[in-house]
Amino acid sequence: MSRTAIRWIFCLSLFPFLVACGQKEEQKSKIEEAVKEAVTKEFKMYEGAKAAVEKVGKEAQEKREKEKEVK
């Protein structure tokens, strides 16, 4: 075999490997995006609950202050 033929065979044998590596990166990206979305969703739920608790606490404090003024 000539050197040119060997080079072509080598290059063609690397092609499936390079395609497979590209697919792995795409899968990794999709997984990272899904994890990021799940964490963001949980964080937003936490922030919403935290804001609701603070609101209820503030309303309760205002109610106690009004009751003190009445007495």
DSSP state letters, 41-66:
HHHHHHHHHHHHHHHHHHHHHHHHHH
Please give the backbone phi and psi of residue 64, each rounded to the nearest 5 degrees, phi first. Answer: -65, -40
For the segment 50-62, the average pLDDT, to the nearest whole number, is 93
pLDDT in the model for residue 60: 92
The CB-based long-range contact list for 45-50 (8 Å cut-off, 24+ gap) reads none
The C-alpha angle with vertex 44 and arms to 26 and 46, in degrees rounded to 5, equals 125
pLDDT digits (tens, 9 = 90+) for 19-44: 666 666 667 778 888 888 887 888 88
Residue 11 has pLDDT above 70, yes or no: no
pLDDT at 41: 85
This prediction's pTM: 0.48
